[in-house]
Structure 1
Amino acid sequence: MSSCVETATPSRQARPGPVPWIAIYHSVGDSSDDPYRITVTRDRLERQLRWLCRRGLRGVSVAELLAARARGEGRNLVGLTFDDGYADFVTDALPALARWGCTATLFVLPGRLGGDNAWDALGPRKPLLTADGIRRAAEAGVEIGSHGLTHADLTQADDAVLKDETAGSRALLEELTGAPVTGFCYPYGTVDRRAVDAVRAAGYGYACAIDPGELSGPHVLPRVHIGQNDHAVRLFLKYRLHRLRRRPVAGLR
């Protein structure tokens, strides 16, 4: 079994650091019919995790990454996130993560338990995790976060829907897992100030976006898309360019 283990040295004086590197994954499985580029094969995921490990990096949940950053540690940690809560996370992603000593954050949709990705107009229907599947992931050490209730675009939601998608989804997930839910992920990556305020008011400690534009802070963390075509050279460029292109995140060490 392969593994990647971090040895952190506490810093005496924490200083503002670069933007954290957080990767976006979705589904792990057959990528032959993939118009939205949301799928990587298990073999490709294994190769990408091996690439991280060989460079002294370890994939962890966003909560663990941010906690390490708050202590002035974790410069060799990267965040791994899986959006939508596909059923193949448990069958394909989880074994690969375990093999390489990694963890992750799984953003799920409690309003679509056991359903499918009906919001994707093109491409194949992919089954989503049931409540039991989500609990199984949590028991394996995966952080469970909310991706909203039903995958609604929060920038187009009225006040009632916005509350259901943020506060409502958090309450359902905490009941399902029996543990606090502190992370949120904006469906479609779309975000505006109103959505950020709703997520913060719902009690989340952080939230992930994709490219938040002028918005900054722990509730609009930028991320990097990782896909089937991301081999070693592309991963290296994405890792380096993310820190060059993104300004430090306000409110993070």
Structure 2
Amino acid sequence: MSVTADPTDPPVGTRPVLGGKLWVAMYHSVGDCSDDPYRITVSPDRLARQLGWLRRRGLRGVSVADLLAAHARGQGRNLVGLTFDDGYADFLDRALPLLRDHGCGATVFVLPGLLDGQNDWDPLGPRKRLLGKRDILQAAAVEGIEIGSHGLTHVDLTKADDETLRAEVAGSRTLLSDLIGAPVQGFCYPYGTIDQRVVDTVRDAGYAYACAIDPAPLNGPYALPRVHVGEQDTGVRLFLKYRLHRMRRRPVEGA
């Protein structure tokens, strides 16, 4: 696939260099943006432009597990983590072909308590189908996409009682590990909300890492910050988001 320059790009001489700080992009749904009150949807055309922006700067999108492994080896300078929250079914037919075309990997955080369900936690906006068992198996076994847990049913874990918290965190890992036939390494906090109790529960459940949004003052592999990427993010906006992220974030300790 040829890569056409985007007129909104900053000069190539200002390309980002990841260095010792991790940069992880947060996506959700890929599709029609006409009814999108939470700004969680990016169109296929915009996603293609964003992946092209990375590629033209010598950057490649990978799963969070691959990003952390490279970081631990002192490598990963030109890698960017790509994550897709909620496990929308449109990942398979709209996001995955574009990732494949650009040589990218990704992590999809799914909800094993809502397989083949829909996003009922959103009071506004359209209902969207979620990935089912066969979809997840295809993404993991056939396409090599990392599957992570987003909990069972998309609840704010900081407001959950201890029993519900354990079920959402440890229970979802067990279900997904059994489904894909391999240990699930990654967790993603619904709504991005965390506290020390939730982080400790995720660590104790056996996950290797967990993604948040803006977890400060918490830090480390169980409180990884991410940058929201949406339909309005042109090359210039991506570059500015990257620079702001670099200025605000400390290196991830213990990752």
The answer to whether the superposition gives a TM-score over 0.5 is yes
Structure 2 match to 1:225: 228
Structure 1 match to 2:197: 194
Q: Secondary structure at the match of 1:79?
A: strand
After superposition, residues 50-89 of structure 1 pair within 5 angstroms as 50-89=52-91
For 2:72 and 2:250, locate their aligned partners in 1 and report how far apart those are by CA, in whole Å: 18
Deviation at 1:240, TM superposition (A): 1.6
Deviation at 1:18, TM superposition (A): 3.3
With 164-173 and 238-247 compared, the bigger mean Cα shift is at 238-247
The correspondence for 1:160, drawn from 159, 163, 174, is: 163
For 2:93 and 2:36, locate their aligned partners in 1 and report how far apart those are by CA, in whole Å: 19
Residue type at the aligned position of 2:229: I
Structure 1 match to 2:217: 214
CA RMSD, Structure 1 to Structure 2 (Å)? 1.0
- CA deviations 1:105-151 (Å, max 9, x no partner) are 00000000000000001101010011100111112010000000100
CA contact (8 A) 1:26 1:38 kept: yes
For 2:31 and 2:2, locate their aligned partners in 1 and report how far apart those are by CA, in whole Å: 21
The correspondence for 1:120, drawn from 119, 122, 136, is: 122
For 1:245 and 1:62, locate their aligned partners in 2 and report how far apart those are by CA, in whole Å: 20
Q: Secondary structure at the match of 2:25?
A: strand
- TM-score normalised by length of structure 1: 0.93
After superposition, residues 24-43 of structure 1 pair within 5 angstroms as 24-43=26-45
Residue type at the aligned position of 1:62: V
For 1:19 and 1:193, locate their aligned partners in 2 and report how far apart those are by CA, in whole Å: 22
For 1:165 and 1:244, locate their aligned partners in 2 and report how far apart those are by CA, in whole Å: 34
Structure 1 match to 2:9: none
Q: Secondary structure at the match of 1:169?
A: helix
Structure 1 match to 2:173: 170
For 1:24 and 1:102, locate their aligned partners in 2 and report how far apart those are by CA, in whole Å: 15
| Gapped regions of structure 1 (runs ≥ 5) | 4-16
CA contact (8 A) 1:26 1:39 kept: yes
With 234-243 and 216-225 compared, the bigger mean Cα shift is at 234-243
| Gapped regions of structure 2 (runs ≥ 5) | 4-18
Q: Secondary structure at the match of 1:145?
A: strand
- CA deviations 1:80-127 (Å, max 9, x no partner) are 000000000001000000000000000000000000000001101010
For 2:182 and 2:31, locate their aligned partners in 1 and report how far apart those are by CA, in whole Å: 29
- CA deviations 1:205-244 (Å, max 9, x no partner) are 0000000021011000000000000001001111121111
Residue type at the aligned position of 1:90: L
For 2:46 and 2:144, locate their aligned partners in 1 and report how far apart those are by CA, in whole Å: 22
Deviation at 1:177, TM superposition (A): 0.6
For 1:72 and 1:18, locate their aligned partners in 2 and report how far apart those are by CA, in whole Å: 8
Structure 2 match to 1:13: none
For 2:156 and 2:51, locate their aligned partners in 1 and report how far apart those are by CA, in whole Å: 31
Q: Secondary structure at the match of 1:155?
A: helix
Deviation at 1:19, TM superposition (A): 2.6
Deviation at 1:247, TM superposition (A): 1.2
Matched, 1:181 2:184: yes
Residue type at the aligned position of 1:217: G
- TM-score normalised by length of structure 2: 0.92
For 2:246 and 2:20, locate their aligned partners in 1 and report how far apart those are by CA, in whole Å: 6
Q: Secondary structure at the match of 2:206?
A: coil
Report % sequence identity. 71
Deviation at 1:2, TM superposition (A): 5.3
Residue type at the aligned position of 1:234: R
